[in-house]
Structure 1
C-alpha cells in the first residue's frame, strides 16, 4: 500500500505538487493521470525517495521508502527505461542488480522469461528497440518479486501485442494482491487496465474514484437516435427541454434528456425509431472535460487565428 498525506513539493516559487493525499490499495490497478506538468513524475519520485517533499509525507507499507531494509523486495519501479548501461546485456544488467541486492540468480532468468526477452538476453541493451528497453525496465521492476509496483508510461514503444501483454500483466499482478500504480497518457489503455483513478492537475488532486465513477461524473448524458423523421423528433425533443444535433451519418445526438424520456416522446408523437441507444462517453472524453482548465501548455490549431 502507498499512502500520501499533504504531500507537497516546491521548486523556488513554483509549486509542483500541492498537498496531495491519497491511498493506492493492493489488489487493484490504480491509474495515475494528469496533463503534462501536472506533477505525476514528481509525485512518483517522492514515493521512491528520489525527491524529498517540502511538506507532508508518503509511505510504502507504512514506512518511508528510504527506511526500507530491502527496497527491491518491497517496491519495483519503472520510471526511465533508458536508465541502463548500453554496454551491458539484459542478462548482466539484471544479474548485477540481483547480486547487489542479495537476490537469487534464478530470478534473472525468471523475469527475462516473463517479459519475453530470453532470446536476446545476452545481447547488449544499446541495440534494443524502445519496446525492448521497456520490457527490460519492467523486468528490472519485477526482479525482487515486490508487493508494490510503480510504472511510468510502461507501454511506450510497445506494439499492439506488447500493449495487450502489459495490460494483462498488470491486471494479473493486482489479482495476486499486489499494489500497482500506473502513470499513462493513453486514456484508451487506462480505460481497459485501471480499476481506480487518481487524477491531478497543476499539482492538486482533482479526482480519486473508480473509472466508472470518473466517466459518469465528467461526461454529459447523451442519446443516439435514428428516425425517418429527424426534423419532427428534433422539434419534440427541443420542446421538452432537450437538445438535438444532426450527426454526419443522419442520426441525432440528443442531450439533456434521459433515454426513456426520448423513447416516450417518440411513442407519444407517433415517431418511428430505427435506433435508440445511450452514447457512452470514453475515459479520454471525460478526462479532457475535467482537466481542460489544468492544462499548462496549449498548442495552437493550425490555421486558427491567434
Structure 2
C-alpha cells in the first residue's frame, strides 16, 4: 500500500504539491489524474524518495522508500522512459539493475520476454523507438517482482497492440494483489484500465473514489430522444428550459432536463417517441468540468 499524508513540496515561491493526502490500496489499479502542472510527477518522485518533501510523508508498505535497501524488491517504477544510457543494450541496462538489487540474472530474460523485447535484448537503447523504451521501462519496474508498482504516462508511444497489452498487464498485476498506481492524462485509458482514481489539481486533492463515482459527479448528463416529430418536441423542450440539439433527421440530444421529464413533456403534448435514453457524463467530461478551475496552463493564456 502507498500512503501519502499531508505531502507538500515548495520550490521557492512555487507550491507544487499542497498538503496532499491519499492512499493507494493493493488489488486495484488506481489512476492518478490531473491537468498539466498539477503536481503528479512531483508526487511520484516524493513517494520514491527522489525528491524530499517540504512537509508531510509518503510511505510504501509503512516505510519511506528511501530507507529500503535493494528497493526493486519492494517497488518498481517507470517515471521517464528516456532515462537510460543510449549506449547500453536493453540486457545490459537490466543486468546492472539486477546486480545492484541482488536479483538473479534469469530475471533479465524473464522480464524482456514479458514485455516483448527478448529479440532486442542486445540492441542499444539509443536505437529504440519511444514505444520500445516504454516497454524497457516497464521491464525495469517488473524486474524485482515487487508488490508495489508506479507508472508515469506508460502508454506514451505505444501502438494499439501495446496499449491493449499494457492494460491487461496492469489488471493482471492488480489481480495478483499488487498495488498499482498509474499516472496518465489520457481519460480513455483510465476509463478502460483503472478501478479507482486519485485526482489532483494545483497540488491539491480533488477526488479519491471509484471511476464510476467520479464520472457520476459530472453534471453534463444528456438525453437522447428519437421521434418523427423532432422539430415540435424541440420547441416543447426549449420552452421548458432545455437545450435540444438536432442529431440527424429524427433525433435530439437534450441537456437541462432528465429523461423522465422529457418523457412526461412528450406524453403531455401527444408526441410519439421511438427512443428515450439517458447518458451520464463521460470520465473525460467529468474530469474537464471538475478540474476547470485547477488548470495551470491554458492555450491562449496571456498571464
* TM-score band w.r.t. shorter chain: over 0.9
Residue in 1 that maps onto 2:134: 134
Structure 1: how far apart are the matches of 2:119 and 2:29? 30
- Match runs of 1:1-306 below 5 Å: 1-239=1-239, 241-250=240-249, 251-300=251-300
TM-score of the pair, normalised by structure 1: 0.94
User: 2:98, 2:105 within 8 Å by CA — same for their partners in 1?
Assistant: yes
Once the two structures are TM-superposed, the CA of residue 278 in structure 1 deviates from its matched residue by 1.5
Structure 1: how far apart are the matches of 2:16 and 2:124? 37
Structure 2: how far apart are the matches of 1:181 and 1:247? 41
Structure 2: how far apart are the matches of 1:247 and 1:5? 49
User: 1:242, 1:255 within 8 Å by CA — same for their partners in 2?
Assistant: no
TM-score of the pair, normalised by structure 2: 0.95
Structure 2: how far apart are the matches of 1:195 and 1:237? 37
Once the two structures are TM-superposed, the CA of residue 285 in structure 1 deviates from its matched residue by 1.2
Structure 2: how far apart are the matches of 1:131 and 1:207? 31
Once the two structures are TM-superposed, the CA of residue 232 in structure 1 deviates from its matched residue by 2.4
- How many residue pairs are counted as aligned between the two chains? 300
Once the two structures are TM-superposed, the CA of residue 253 in structure 1 deviates from its matched residue by 1.8
Once the two structures are TM-superposed, the CA of residue 237 in structure 1 deviates from its matched residue by 2.7
| Structure 1 segments unaligned to the other structure (5+ residues) | 302-306
Query: Secondary structure of 1:293's match?
Result: helix
| Structure 2 segments unaligned to the other structure (5+ residues) | none
Structure 2: how far apart are the matches of 1:280 and 1:56? 37
Large movers: runs of 4+ above 4 Å: none
Once the two structures are TM-superposed, the CA of residue 242 in structure 1 deviates from its matched residue by 4.3
Q: CA RMSD in A?
A: 1.4
Query: Secondary structure of 1:249's match?
Result: coil
Query: Secondary structure of 1:3's match?
Result: strand
Once the two structures are TM-superposed, the CA of residue 265 in structure 1 deviates from its matched residue by 2.7
